[in-house]
Amino acid sequence: DAGVTQSPTHLIKTRGQQVTLRCSPKSGHDTVSWYQQALGQGPQFIFQYYEEEERQRGNFPDRFSGHQFPNYSSELNVNALLLGDSALYLCASTKQGANTIYFGEGSWLTVV
């Protein structure tokens, strides 16, 4: 049973560019969340998707947007990249009604 899978694992972007990160949830899960983990910090909640809609959002600017597809996979888009966006981006999935949240290995984004 595959867990939460994310791609790409590493990428380097230039300031001002846009990036798309992808996530496939664990089999049977229908809810996907995204977190940003800066170096030396705990993960920070970005937003959560369920039934292809954004259900909750953390304290992140509109430059951060997402999408959930009918197969429950998800994308995180970040526009107008800043140096401060350099971080590990973690995708997490769960099933509505459950209380266990599983994380993927993350996508390392470096903005230069």
Q: What 3-state class would DSSP assign to 48? A: strand
Specify the residue, 53 or 62, whose C-beta has the smaller distance to other proteins. Answer: 53
Among 21, 24, 33, 68, binds other proteins (CB under 8 A): 33
From the list 45, 67, 73, 75, which residue makes contact with other proteins (rule: CB under 8 A)?
A: 45
* Close Cβ partners of 88 (under 8 Å, ≥ 6 residues apart): 36, 37, 38, 106, 107, 108, 109
Binding window for other proteins (CB under 8 A); candidates: 13-21, 47-55, 65-73, 75-83 = 47-55
* φ and ψ of 18, to 5 deg: -120, 150
Under the rule (CB under 8 A), what is the footprint of other proteins? 4, 31, 33, 35, 40-45, 48, 50, 55-56, 58, 90, 92, 94, 96-97, 99-106
